[in-house]
């Protein structure tokens, strides 16, 4: 009998029924595609917006803005971070701005963010230097350091907002935007999604190549 | 305020999103009673605007923990994706049972790798090239530079492999099973 070595050309065969959640995902997708056949075949994407949001399952950008596919180019990661040394986020920004030519970048935080809470907890119970042993600790390191510098007693929502402001600054300081601003303006915004009401709130910190922008 | 040439007034795009959000919250007020998320699935997909996981599966908020990047990659040295995996799998309130890597047709990232694989081999010059370097190298080594759909599928298989080989899963499998799909 062949040994069951998992490689990219073999299918595993587990004697288990297909998990219900997978069946549901595929069934619902089929029904959705049939109900929205007018969208297909889908041509090239022309979204005007890049969304840097949280991986949190409760904040699916296209559902909460009732947007059809093709509207929002999206990176979602833990606590909606934009780190200048992170090739993942920087490549998303580069592709969105230079190839797809989005006009707006929105950093979206949300209430009850687990990543923000984790940073706050670490800052409240430990002192710098904070552990960078795991990828998650390294990922949240700058946010944890920020939470520590602000001091204990910060409301989590205040920290969520401050986090959004920090990431907006990071995006505004990026080389990608510095280059693109020579050709055209691109605006960056900071929003917070409230899980209690489902509503998005603009923090009013928008900026472009000439500085703050008011709408 | 600067006058920049944009095809539509700058505020309309944003106000459209915010207006639609408001109408959506009014139509879905029953959703906002849940306090914590308990998704059973982690979706690793592409940043492409045409592939919003919850829309195309018609799943409500709270169901799909989501990571999206260029060409749905999972790299062993990427703190971004690995931190998502750690949170989804290890966090006591989460503990997803299934991880799904989802590629899609007409993927610009995969197309870029096809082109780069057919061009001269030169070191990556920027973040996007570094990000796509493993897939480009794979395309070059396997002669897939001219076959977009083959590379697309091979890419999903590669990323599934990468997730299966992760330290995160190795550790978690000591406690419970977690399945990975493509």
- A22/B98 touch (CB, cutoff 8 Å), yes or no: yes
**Residue extents of the structural domains in chain A:** 46-111+154-212
Residue from A49, A114, A52, A51 nearest A82 by CA: A52
pLDDT > 50? residue A7: no
Tell me the two tokens of residue B79.
């703190």
The band of B2, judged by pLDDT with boundaries at 50, 70 and 90, is very low
pLDDT > 60? residue A194: yes
Task: Give the mean pLDDT of chain A.
Answer: 92
- A66/B34 touch (CB, cutoff 8 Å), yes or no: no
Residue B52 lies in a domain: yes
Task: Give the mean pLDDT of chain B.
Answer: 91
Q: What is the pTM of this model?
A: 0.92
Contact B42, A56 (CB under 8 A): no
The band of B38, judged by pLDDT with boundaries at 50, 70 and 90, is confident
The band of A8, judged by pLDDT with boundaries at 50, 70 and 90, is very low
Q: Tell me what percent of the residues of chain A surpass a pLDDT of 90.
A: 86
Could you tell me the CATH number of the domain that includes residue B175? Answer: 3.40.1050.10
Residue B149 lies in a domain: yes
Contact A97, A50 (CB under 8 A): yes
pLDDT of residue A3: 35
pLDDT in tens, A142-163: 999 999 999 887 899 999 999 9
* Overall number of domains in chain B: 1
Q: Which residues form the domain of B107?
A: 36-181
Helix (H, G, I), strand (E, B) or coil at A161: helix
Residue from A116, A132, A125 nearest A195 by CA: A116
CATH superfamily for domain A46-111+154-212: Carbonic anhydrase (3.40.1050.10)
Contact B65, B96 (CB under 8 A): yes
DSSP A33-69: HHHTGGG-S------SEEEEEE--TT--HHHHTTPPT
Compute the distance between CA of residue A119 and CA of residue A70 in angstroms, rounded to an integer: 34
pLDDT in tens, A26-50: 999 999 999 999 999 999 999 999 9
Residue B13 lies in a domain: no
pLDDT of residue A177: 98
pLDDT in tens, A74-123: 999 999 999 999 999 999 999 999 999 999 999 999 999 999 999 999 99
CA distance A1 to chain B (A): 23
Burial class of A12 by CB neighbour count within 10 A (0 to 12, 13 to 18, 19+)? exposed
From the list A32, A49, A74, the residue facing B57 with the nearest CB is A32
The band of A11, judged by pLDDT with boundaries at 50, 70 and 90, is low
- Binding residues of A, by number, are 54, 56, 110, 113
pLDDT in tens, A126-135: 999 999 999 9
Give the contacts of B78 (CB within 8 A, at least 6 positions apart). A87, A88
CA distance A80 to chain B (A): 10
């Amino acid at each position: 009998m062949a040994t069951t070595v998992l490689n990219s050309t073999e299918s595993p065969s587990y004697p288990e029924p297909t998990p219900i959640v997978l069946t549901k995902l595929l069934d619902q997708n089929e029904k959705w595609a049939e109900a929205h056949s007018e969208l297909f075949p889908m041509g090239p994407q022309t979204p005007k917006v890049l969304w840097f949001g949280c991986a949190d399952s409760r904040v699916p950008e296209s559902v909460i803005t009732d947007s059809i596919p093709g509207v929002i180019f999206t990176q979602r990661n833990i606590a909606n971070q934009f780190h200048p040394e992170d090739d993942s986020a920087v490549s998303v920004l580069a592709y969105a701005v230079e190839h797809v030519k989005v006009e707006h970048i929105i950093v979206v935080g949300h209430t009850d963010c687990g990543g923000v809470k984790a940073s706050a907890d670490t800052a409240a119970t430990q002192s710098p230097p904070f552990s960078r042993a795991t990828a998650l600790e390294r990922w949240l390191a700058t946010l944890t350091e920020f939470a520590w510098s602000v001091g204990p007693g910060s409301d989590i929502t205040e920290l969520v907002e401050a986090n959004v402001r920090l990431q907006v600054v990071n995006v505004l300081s990026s080389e990608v935007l510095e280059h693109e601003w020579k050709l055209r303006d691109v605006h960056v915004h900071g929003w917070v999604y409230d899980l209690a009401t489902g509503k998005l709130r603009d923090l009013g910190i928008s900026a472009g190549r000439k500085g703050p922008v008011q709408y | 305020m600067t006058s920049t040439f944009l095809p539509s007034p700058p505020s309309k795009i944003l106000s459209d999103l915010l207006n639609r959000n408001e109408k959506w919250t009014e139509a879905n007020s029953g959703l906002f009673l849940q306090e914590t998320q308990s998704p059973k699935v982690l979706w690793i997909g592409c940043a492409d605007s045409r592939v919003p996981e919850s829309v195309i599966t018609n799943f409500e908020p709270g169901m799909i923990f989501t990571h999206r990047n260029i060409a749905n990659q999972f790299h062993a040295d990427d703190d971004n994706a690995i931190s998502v995996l750690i949170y989804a799998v290890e966090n006591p309130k989460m503990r997803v049972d299934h991880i799904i890597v989802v590629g899609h047709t007409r993927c610009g990232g995969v197309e870029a790798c096809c082109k780069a694989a057919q061009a001269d081999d030169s070191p990556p010059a920027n973040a996007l090239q570094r990000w796509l370097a493993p897939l480009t190298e794979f395309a070059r080594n396997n002669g897939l530079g001219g076959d977009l759909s083959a590379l697309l599928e091979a890419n999903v298989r590669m990323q599934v492999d990468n997730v299966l080989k992760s330290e995160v899963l190795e550790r978690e499998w000591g406690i419970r099973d977690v399945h990975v799909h493509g």
